[in-house]
Amino acid sequence: MKIVHIANFYGPNSGGIKTTIHELGRGYQRYGNEFIYIVPGPKFMQESTIFGTEICLPGRTLPGSGGYQVIASKRQLRNLLEFLQPDIVEVSDRFTLIWIGKWAKRQKIKSVVFSHETLLGLIQRFIPLIPKSMAKLISNWHNRKLSKSFNYVIATTEFAAREFKAINCDNLRIIKLGVDLETFNPTNRSDMIHQELGKGSEFVLMHSARMSPEKEPQRAIEALRELINRGYSIRLVMLGCGPMWKKIKKISRGLPVDTLGYICDRTKLAKYLASADIMIAPGPLETFCLSALESLASGTPVVASKSSAVGELLEINSQHPVGSVAADNGISFAAEIEKILNFPNIRIRSREVAEQFNWSTTVDCLLTLYGAKKPMVTTRKRLRVA
């Protein structure tokens, strides 16, 4: 089976979408399928990778996005798809690539679209003057159009699925993403790295996300300031880049904050995550948040916005949660971080929760949806590490 995945907003510094595409490609090929992913780039390029065949089409940079690109020519992309003749088309852009679903139906090719965002949340975040009732009408209109264009809409959490359930979308499927349990592991924790990151502080608070308005990275700094006022010896390490980079640097002056930029070396990133004491995920619109799951796999608990999907990963209503959720303000985040710092055995439990999420299950669910035959594959038994 030939599976083609098309995605905008993919680049050297992109996070969750790139990780998802790579892990899906690795999994599909493991079952003998051909995988091609088409993304924007500086010019036309084709390259064979361990994740599949990567094809770059010339892209156009979106102003104010921190370098994100979209494929510039619809005609060029359509011609490429007609040449490739895929069996399955996957799309990771519900806005500019919605036409691909309609094209695929005309060609009698099965198509799916991944809903990586909450449209209602984006409208309310970026167009706050629009009445909530109007925002719902716009969101419902677009989501109906989206669901009719593709054979399936894939949501990765109940949070992401909510706006499609509201319109009684009958082709919605909830398929959870996975995490690389080998790369992200508590065994990566290093006292030396903890000391290097903390620079003399007792605790290391980590933020690993794109620095863009919808991620609310300034919330991490607000929480840090409150924790310091409460007497904690703590340092904030911020990973990632984006359009708010300069603003974050400015508002963090005089505080124990380090902005390390985007970490492309995943082994290094895994060591950082495992060596932190707590991860903060303040983005209120997160529909899954792979970085939070990577943190849990590393044994590091997470405090997230209560208005995002991350709370679904943290088992907050169980006797042994692996994190907490906070209201969207620094004081609330600081209070929840303070609570989590005092939880016993939370690192062991964090890993146990992350082990429920693996990419092989994600791939199996998608291939079953596509009607693909999965041949027997010999797998190595993974050792469980507490």
Helix then strand count (H, E) for the chain reads 14, 15
Cβ atoms < 10 Å from Cβ of 360: 15
For 175-186, what is the mean pLDDT?
96
164 burial class (0-12, 13-18, 19+ CB within 10 angstroms)?
buried
Q: Write the pLDDT tens digit of every residue in 123-134.
A: 988 888 899 999
Instruction: Give me 253's structure tokens.
Output: 């002056």
Residue 330 to residue 140: CA distance in whole angstroms = 32
**Per-residue pLDDT tens for 294-349?**
999 999 999 999 999 999 999 999 989 999 999 999 999 999 999 999 888 899 99
Task: Say if CB 163 and CB 285 are below 8 A apart.
Answer: no
Phi, psi angle pair for 25, to nearest 5°: -60, -45
Integer Cα distance of 213 and 260 in angstroms: 18
Nearest of 16, 84, 75 to residue 52 by alpha carbon: 84
* Cα(106)–Cα(94) distance, integer angstroms: 19
Q: Binning pLDDT at 50, 70 and 90, where does residue 9 land?
A: confident
Residue 178 has pLDDT above 50, yes or no: yes
Beta partners for 280? 303
* pLDDT tens readout for residues 227-258: 999 999 999 999 999 899 999 999 999 999 99
151-154-158-162 Cα dihedral, nearest 10 degrees: -50
Region 53-75: what's the mean pLDDT?
86
Strands (E), the chain: 2-6, 34-41, 45-49, 52-61, 69-71, 88-91, 110-114, 152-155, 172-174, 203-208, 234-239, 257-261, 278-281, 302-305, 323-326
Question: What does pLDDT average to over the chain?
Answer: 92
Neighbours of 340 (CB within 10 A): 20
Name the β-bridge partners of 35. 3
Cβ-Cβ contacts under 8 Å for 329 (sequence gap 6 or more): 219, 222
Query: Which residues neighbour 195 within 8 Å (Cβ) at sequence distance 6 or greater?
Result: none
Distance CA 115, CA 20 (A): 12
Please, what are the domains in the chain? 2-180+357-370 (3.40.50.2000), 186-354 (3.40.50.2000)
Tell me the three-class secondary structure of 57-82, residue by residue. EEEEECCCCCCCEEECCHHHHHHHHH
